[in-house]
Amino acid sequence: MRNDLGELSAFAVVAEERSFTRAAARLGVSQSALSHSMRGLEKRLGLQLLARTTRSVSPTAAGSALLHELAPALERIERAVAETRKQRESPAGRIRLIIPRTATQMVLLPKLAQFARTYPEIVLEVTSSNDPVDLVAGEYDAGVQIGEFIQRDMIAVRVTKDMRLAVVGAPEYFAPRKVPRKPQDLKDHACIGFRFSNGLYRWEFERGRKALTLSPQGPASFDDPELVIQAVLNGVGIGTAMEETLKSLIADGRLIQVLRDWCPTFPGYFLYYPSRRNQPAALAALIDTLRISD
């Protein structure tokens, strides 16, 4: 009974107007089509809902009873549809966002207070994950991720400048050891790994025409970049993280950056989402807030 909702709504209008002519004009359909629809509804229900004469139309007892129950439900549906349309027209509602913790600190948190003040009717539901995610399957509105990990069918908007991975160690770790001068020297060091759910992140190096990739070998690996750096600060070994997040630790001398000339820049983080069509105003507001110029 796929047509019942539309036909029940049309029945309510006919019963309210007590005229097929006025109801048809209000609904934007022909009088004959409306009359045919009402007969089909009555046939499926096995009850006469409308009493018809040449001069007037009125609900029967069964029709009045149905209308009494139907009117509040139709009003709720109308309000729900209006609220849904409002999300297209004004920045309001919930946005489900999945984003790595590092990107949350770099991209979202610095702008979140101003965003909340500007758009008080938007609520962000933020999930932290380092792994590339299928937004549609996960029922997320948008995500933030390194550009190379984003599927090609997504719309991507740049939210950071070019970035660089930093290879770092604590002064206490390097005190009895030689500082690595080239990636091959890392075989003599304890390397702390960063782990995605599908495996260990391999360290990529490049200088001029030379490029190589190494799997870190060491006493521990973590799925949280903050824990990697905490282990590095505790002298466990050498680790990697986004250079931007380590600037103060490097400047204060708590970390020593190595192999910088072997770590090329890359495009950085992008906010991505499935489609530009019928984009909710809340998502458009978030995109405009986080977007940076290329």
Q: How much is the pLDDT for 25?
A: 92
Gap between the Cα atoms of 113 and 127, Å rounded: 18
Q: How much is the pLDDT for 89?
A: 63
Answer whether residue 167 shows pLDDT above 80: yes
Cβ–Cβ under 8 Å, residues 136 and 274: yes
- Dihedral angle sign, alpha carbons of residues 291, 163, 237, 217: positive
| Domain covering 93-161+268-290, topology | D-Maltodextrin-Binding Protein; domain 2 (3.40.190)
Model pTM score: 0.70
Q: How much is the pLDDT for 271?
A: 97
pLDDT mean over 275-294: 85
Answer whether residue 82 shows pLDDT above 80: no
Residue 276 or residue 7, greater confidence: 7
Q: Parallel, antiparallel, or unpaired: how do β-strands 199-200 and 193-196 relate?
A: antiparallel
Quote the strand ranges of the chain, DSSP E. Answer: 50-52, 57-59, 93-99, 122-128, 142-146, 155-158, 163-169, 193-196, 199-200, 203-207, 210-214, 221-222, 239-242, 256-258, 265-266, 269-273
Report helix, strand or coil for 223.
coil
Tokens of 216: 């870190």
Residues 6+ apart with CB under 8 A from 134: 151
Q: How many CB atoms lie within 10 A of CB 164?
A: 14
Gap between the Cα atoms of 250 and 248, Å rounded: 5
Q: How much is the pLDDT for 84?
A: 65
pLDDT mean over 56-69: 88
Residue 42 or residue 73, greater confidence: 42
Residue 83 or residue 44, greater confidence: 44
Looking at the DSSP bridge assignments, the partners of residue 157 are 271
Answer whether residue 87 shows pLDDT above 80: no
Question: With respect to CATH, is domain 4-89 assigned 3.10.20.90?
Answer: no
Q: How many CB atoms lie within 10 A of CB 112?
A: 15
Gap between the Cα atoms of 142 and 99, Å rounded: 9
Residues of the chain within CATH 3.40.190.10 domain(s) are 93-161+268-290
Residues of the chain within CATH 1.10.10.10 domain(s) are 4-89
Tokens of 65: 């009873």
Task: Give the pLDDT confidence of 102-130 residue by residue, as tens digits.
Answer: 999 999 999 999 999 999 999 999 999 99
Least confident piece of the model among 47-56, 115-124, 128-137, 164-173:
47-56
Answer whether residue 1 shows pLDDT above 50: no
pLDDT mean over 169-193: 96
Question: With respect to CATH, is domain 163-266 assigned 3.30.200.210?
Answer: no
